[in-house]
Every structure is written in structure tokens, then in C-alpha cells.
Amino acid sequence: MRRRTGQDLRRIVVAGGAGFVGGHLCQRLVQDGHDVICIDNFQTGRTCNIVHLQDEQNFTCISHDIIDPLPDLGPLDEIYNLACAASPKKYQVDPIHTFKTNVFGALNLLELALRHDATILQSSTSEVYGDPEISPQAEAYRGNVNTMGPRSCYDEGKRAVETLFYDFHHSRGARTRVARIFNTYGPGMCPADGRVISNFVTQALSGTPVTVYGDGSQTRSFCFISDLVDGLMALMAADDEEVTPYNLGNPGEFTITEVARHIIATLGSKSAIEYLDLPVDDPRQRRPDITKAMADLHWAPKVSLAEGLKKTVPYFAAHLGGPATRLLV
Ligand code: NAD
Ligand code: UDP
């Protein structure tokens, strides 16, 4: 695959740059010397994810909702669209806004990309596969998604954006990339975002029950944040011809009960497991087939779940103010 050569410095927009993934991506791009403009409405974004960048000359943050017309940002080379709450608990608070963020937000950013001849990357999701009937999920699988349910604003919003990216590329010549991101975790996650890793680690650290939804036999695959950032940057740098979606995730697959037990054991926690109702439309299984990303992008995740948790737990411990020395990891 042809790649960009040289260390050319670029002017890059990161929409959703104050979020968990966005904060890490902004950090990497700023470190690499690029001019980075973060656009965020701070719905789930947090200043602590970007505050350390505020004194960098090559970093700017604009508080703005991408469903509204975008300000003039000057010449641009690349746009990463990461704007959208990723946690079901958060994106379901205002589902219509979530759908608008996906569709209207992507439309605004696609028009911006065309105006500046910039390459634009969309953070899509494994949720486009819905409750998959096959495992692992390869990009060719068309999914099993409910159009009318509490997750639909997110799942169908992301599917609609993929269609917009296809049409902007084929009808209007936009340079597009689509990453189907599988569950990602790491330092910088909001401890209260309601996702499984943040919940289980904070519960195990504080000795409160670890809340497994359903019978815990549903599976997920967990990608460490640095691996995801590598994958996003590799995809952005890929060939212009490579406009079809790419799965980015770690193929290691775990039941949710296994994750709970692993976290409790590694932390030496006294927490019990408490089984609660399974949320509506919670997918039964999820595991990425990353053959395509490995072949075309020369990308594969490097960090196992056990290693990634070791790097993540101290962050949550510091946040909770607990004694980090208690950690067995
Ligand atoms: P996050 O909630 O931490 O970050 C999302 C960011 O987007 C936040 O800073 C939020 O304030 C901002 N945002 C939301 N709506 C906006 C709007 N209308 N205008 C401007 N900013 C807006 O989530 P994350 O984990 O960092 O996820 C980033 C992207 O990756 C999302 O698009 C998500 O769908 C996708 N993704 C994430 C995961 C994961 O496991 N983290 C998995 C699949 C896909
Ligand atoms: N989950 C759980 N307990 C929690 C939070 C989540 O058992 O406290 C389950 C959830 O039902 C799902 C899996 O863990 O089966 C992953 O949930 P998350 O919200 O992290 O991501 P998603 O459902 O979007 O994959």
C-alpha cells in the first residue's frame, strides 16, 4: 500500500478532541508537531483530557457543537471525527441529539473537508454490526441492528454516517476513511461514564459490588487506547483508494463475567459480583476480524487486556484517591 512519506506537518481538526479517544489522539498529534484544532461541545468531553495541551502553541480548542454550522478554521489537511458520546448510558440521555451529532455533525465536517480538500476520518463503531449472528465480525458482515430501540440512535446514526461517507466519496470526490472501532479502554476514561471497564475497576477499587448485567456470558473484545490511536493514524495515512471501512479492535474475546473475575482477582478486591438486568438490545457477542487492517494498514494491537488493565488501574486509583499501594497489578 502506498503511504505518505516524510514528516510533513499538517493542520488537523479533531472533532470530539476533549473526549477519551480524542484527548489521546490530540496528545499524539501535538507531540508529532502538527497544528491541532480540537472542536468539542464538552457533552462528555472533559478539560482534564486536554488541559496539559493548553500551553502548546500548536494546540487550539474551540467549544462548539458540530451539529451547528462550523466556524471558518482556515486551511486544513486532515479531520478526525470522534465527536459522539460512546457510552450507552451517556448517548441515551438525549438520543435525538446523538442522532443529530452523527448525521448533521458528519455532514458539516464532510463539507468542511471538501472545502479544504482535507482527508476526513470517521469514527464508526462495532455497533454497526448490532447483535451479530456471526463471530468474528469482518467488515463484509452487514449486521443485525434494531432500528427502533434505546441503542438505535447511536447504531443507526453511525450506519447513516458510513453511508454519507460513501456518497461524499463517490459523488463528490471527498477523501474519506471509516474506522469501525471496537470497545476501547485506558487511562483518561471518565470514571463515571458507565462503561464496563470503568465501572468494574472503580467498583473493585472501592470494594462495592461489581455489577454484571445479565448472566455475564455476553462477550466483548477490548482494545487498549494506544493501539487504537496507532490504528486511527495508520488509517488516516492510508491510500486514497482505501475508502471502505476498517475494523480496529483487539480480537481477544472475553465474557463479561471473566472480565469481572479478572479485575477482582488482580486487584485483590473484596467486591462481590452482583448480577443486574441486561440492558435492552445488549449485543451477545463481539469480536473483530482485523485481517483487513493487518494486511492493508500493517496494524495490529500490541497490548493484551491484562497488560492494558495494569496500565489503566493506577489512573482510576488516583482518581478515586485510594491507596495505589493496594494494587496487586
Ligand atoms: P467520549 O464520550 O469520551 O468522547 C466523545 C467526545 O465527543 C466528547 O468530548 C464529547 O463532548 C464530544 N461530542 C459529543 N457530541 C458532540 C457534538 N455534537 N459536538 C461536538 N462535540 C461533541 O467517547 P470516546 O470513547 O472518546 O469515543 C470517541 C469516538 O469513538 C466516538 O465517536 C465513538 O462513537 C467512537 N467509538 C468509541 C469506542 C470506545 O470504546 N471508546 C468504541 C466504538 C466507537
Ligand atoms: N456491562 C456490565 N456491567 C456494567 C457495565 C456494562 O455487565 O457495569 C456490560 C454491558 O451490558 C455490555 C458490556 O458490559 O454487555 C459492555 O458494555 P459497555 O457499556 O462498556 O459497552 P457496549 O455495550 O457499548 O459494548
Q: How far is CA 68 from the centre of its chain?
A: 22
Task: Name the pTM for this structure.
Answer: 0.96
The pLDDT confidence band at residue 320, using thresholds 50, 70 and 90, is confident
Percent of the chain residues past pLDDT 90, beyond the cut? 92
Check: CB of residue 59 under 8 Å from CB of residue 53: yes
> Per-residue pLDDT for 92 more than 90?
yes
Per-residue pLDDT, 157 = 98
Q: CA 60, CA 151: separation in Å to the nearest integer?
A: 33
Q: CA 175, CA 192: separation in Å to the nearest integer?
A: 36
Q: CA 315, CA 133: separation in Å to the nearest integer?
A: 36
CA–centroid distance, residue 201 to ligand 2 (Å):
13
CA–centroid distance, residue 179 to ligand 1 (Å):
13
Comparing 71-75, 119-123, 258-262, the range with the smallest average pLDDT is: 71-75
The three cell numbers locating residue 110: 464532510
- CB contact burial 67-91 (16+ within 10 A = b; e otherwise): beebeebeebbbbbbbbbbbbbebb
CA triple 315-265-206, angle to 5 deg? 50
Pocket residue to mutate for ligand 1, from 82, 98, 180, 195, most atoms within 8 A of Cβ: 82
Q: What is the mean pLDDT of the chain?
A: 94
Rounded mean pLDDT, 284-311: 98
Which residue minimizes the CA distance to atom 5 of ligand 2? 196
Residue 31: its H or E element: helix 20-31
Query: Which residue, chain included where needed, has cell 495541551?
Result: 53
Per-residue pLDDT, 187 = 97
98: CB partners within 8 A, 6+ apart:
84, 85, 91, 92, 153, 154, 157
Comparing 4-8, 193-197, 315-319, the range with the smallest average pLDDT is: 4-8
CA–centroid distance, residue 218 to ligand 2 (Å):
9
The three cell numbers locating residue 187: 487511562
Ligand 1 surroundings by CB, under 6 angstroms: 16, 18-22, 40-45, 65-67, 82-86, 101, 105, 123, 125, 181, 183-184
Ligand 2 surroundings by CB, under 6 angstroms: 87-88, 183, 195-196, 199, 211-213, 218, 220, 256, 279, 282
Q: CA 265, CA 312: separation in Å to the nearest integer?
A: 15
Instruction: Judge whether 154 counts as a catalytic residue.
Output: yes
Task: Give the residues across from 61 on adjacent strands.
Answer: 38
Per-residue pLDDT, 5 = 40
